Amino acid sequence: CWNRILKAFANSLDPDETPQNVAVKFRRFLESSNVGTCLNELLVLEHSDVVTRQKLCTCSALFSALDSVNDCVEISNQDHEIQYVNPAYERLTGYTMEEVLGKDTRELRSDRNKQEISDSINGQMKKGKKWEGTYYTRRKSGDVLPQHCRMCPVMGVGGKPSHYVSIRSPHMESSHYFDKLKDPDYLSQIANGGIHSIARRKESFARIHSMTIEAPITKVINIINTAQESSPITVVQALDKVLEILRTSELYSPYFAQEMKGDDPMTSDYLGGLISQDAARSMKEVDHPLRAAAHVPTSHIAHHHISSQLIPDNINNLLVKEDSWDFDIIELERVTNKRPLVYVALRTMARFDVCSFLSISETCMANWLQLIEASYQCTNSYHNSTHAADVLNSTAYFLQREKIKAIFDPIDEVAALIAAAVHDVDHPGKSNAFLINSHSDLSVLYNDIAVLENHHAALTFKLTARDQSVNIFKNLDRDTYRLLRQSIIDMVLATEMMKHFEHLNKFVNSVVKLTQKAEETSSLSGTGSPDSAMILNQLSTTENKTLIKRMLIKCADVSNPCRPLNLCIEWARRIAEEYCQQTDEEKRLGLPVVMPVFDRKTCSLPKSQTSFIDFFIKDMFENWDYFCDIPVLKGHLETNYDFWKLEEESPTHDYDLSVKVAQKTAEHENVQRKSSDSTGKSSTEDKATNSINST
């Protein structure tokens, strides 16, 4: 009878679910009619076979749960030897379970965990208490990630810990951006021109893969990324190392020989003039005023603090829209008598609390800004302090994008704002190629390498250190100053157009593709998962933040085609005038003409703009939009490009274009006004149109 009970129990077990290490053993006993004996046997059966099976099934369920959670789980014994890690731990750190089993957990910790943290953890574990706080995890690649860690001991025999359980989740600051995407109110708030739809994202990324100019290294990286998708983890990790090596090498400069052999000589000349500086030089020595460009007399500049209460109402009224993309910097230039930089910079620096970071007074900042603005050459039609103020305004706008706010630290924001303000200081209104061909003192000083950009950066720090009343860096400690200076210089040098495609390709392969992974992980694994947080932490590394800052100032520097149409037209007229002046000077001095397309007799302003947008702007802003979401700029860019295309097809000569431009601008603004604002409040647009008419 009892054997039948045991056999029935054994048959009830599912062979597929029964753990392999569990065997049902049959025990024999004498048949007895004693109820107590039978009851005792059933109790023995319950507390041995049945309970053991239930515990094993429960353990199986717990391990399934551990395999599915997004938090990293690590279990070690009393000697801190790792006994178990879950798949989330493997994904985050890059180590497999086989690689870490039996290893001391202390061997895998990061040096960024201070000794006080380790002492605190050990103290809590010995007391049998939990510990919770920020813990730095070192990945197999060497990266360090901050995580929110909860550690607790498992008490064994004698009241001593037998195991330690560590649960690590994404750090709150790291997952800030992705967590905000969970909030439906936040999504609805920025839905109008804010977050792109998934379909638009995929379409945008598809266009990124078909960039106009693609370096060979980009194709190599795309092939490696494709191979990783179907490879085992060991191969994926090896290929990650390959990608890391490729991305840190100078392999991103594209080859222009084929692209510049097209049927469009104007585009070829324009492209060559902007990104090359090794044009044929005239061996004739040229005595030119630019030899004195490096000298900027500043000793007699008086510095007076500009109190916000003393700023005229008409200027204050304009500065109200300082944080808007439609801010009219040209109008501010007019009302400030060509001194817009000081006013817009004071407002912007205050908004980002720059003086507090630098530990200086607003007076010191105002003095420094006046010195910098005085060092810009106001006779330039384009590269003057108004352009600097415009780039500063664009930079501040980009710094307010959600993803950039989640990645940048205060020092990154301060560096970006300062670099924007000084990036063209003392620009002579001539290109690098002109300075090299004319054998200017600056080209000799900087060995023909990024002549203007090196000059802007060097002069900035030279002027700043000249007088304590203008030294905005005087209160920084040595390490902070070194990091800030390095970042400012790097951003200013990034504005050199010769390395435009190198910076763009690096940004696409390192930052944009990480962004795509973050969005895919966020949609598949849920926002705030270890994978998405890890990717955001990867974006926050020093190397990637450097690439982002370079692209930020590059986009800000050439953002004119993305401004409202009236501003876009004015900036196009100004840059064309400056280039035409350079062509006039090159002809007068017998120098090689760097950009023959900007000849006053033959120049086509619409054609120059469409060529510039096609070659430089479209791809760059497509990627920048995918990264930080700037639909307003994309809308202006499309409108402006269509406008220039229509003008390109018309026979109107460019320097007789002002009347037609005003008409087109008025028509465009009327359409926008009717569709978006039925109240007819258009004083700003009318003022802009009048400005174009006067032009």
Strands 161-170 and 144-155 turn out to be antiparallel
Looking at the chain, how many residues does it have?
695
| CA distance linking residue 524 with residue 518, whole number of Å | 10
Instruction: Give me the residue label for tokens 């048959």.
Output: 11
Amino acid at 216: P
Backbone phi and psi for residue 630, each to the nearest 5 degrees, phi listed first: -130, 65
Q: Record the tokens describing residue 116, joined without a space.
A: 């006080």
| CA distance linking residue 374 with residue 377, whole number of Å | 8
| CA distance linking residue 584 with residue 463, whole number of Å | 32
H/E run at residue 332: helix 329-335
Q: Is 636 annotated as a binding residue?
A: no
Q: In this structure, are residues 588 and 287 in contact, taking their beta carbons and an 8 Å threshold? A: no
| CA distance linking residue 175 with residue 529, whole number of Å | 8
| CA distance linking residue 313 with residue 347, whole number of Å | 14
- Strands of 326-434, DSSP E: none
Strands 72-77 and 131-138 turn out to be unpaired
| CA distance linking residue 216 with residue 675, whole number of Å | 45
| CA distance linking residue 368 with residue 349, whole number of Å | 12
* DSSP SS3 for 52: helix
Q: Return the sign of the alpha-carbon dihedral for residues 587, 589, 593, 595.
A: negative
Q: Is 386 annotated as a binding residue?
A: yes
- CA trace torsion 441, 447, 448, 452 (10° rounding): -60
Could you tell me which of 152, 173, 149, 153 has the C-alpha nearest to residue 161? Answer: 153
Distances, alpha carbon 77 to alpha carbons 82, 103, 154, 161, in Å: 7, 11, 9, 8
Q: Is 557 annotated as a binding residue?
A: yes
Q: Is 441 annotated as a binding residue?
A: no
Residue 383: active-site member: yes
| CA distance linking residue 268 with residue 263, whole number of Å | 9
Q: Record the tokens describing residue 563, joined without a space.
A: 């401004």
**Helix, strand, coil % (nearest 5) of the chain?**
60, 5, 35
Beta partners for 155?
161
Q: Of these residues, 148, 196, 383, 427, which one is catalytic?
A: 383
Q: Is 387 annotated as a binding residue?
A: yes
Q: Is 183 annotated as a binding residue?
A: no
Strands 144-155 and 82-85 turn out to be unpaired
| CA distance linking residue 552 with residue 452, whole number of Å | 19
Strands 72-77 and 144-155 turn out to be unpaired
- Output the known binding site for Zn(2+): 387, 423-424, 557
- Output the known binding site: 383-387, 423-424, 557, 609
Write out the catalytic residue numbers: 383
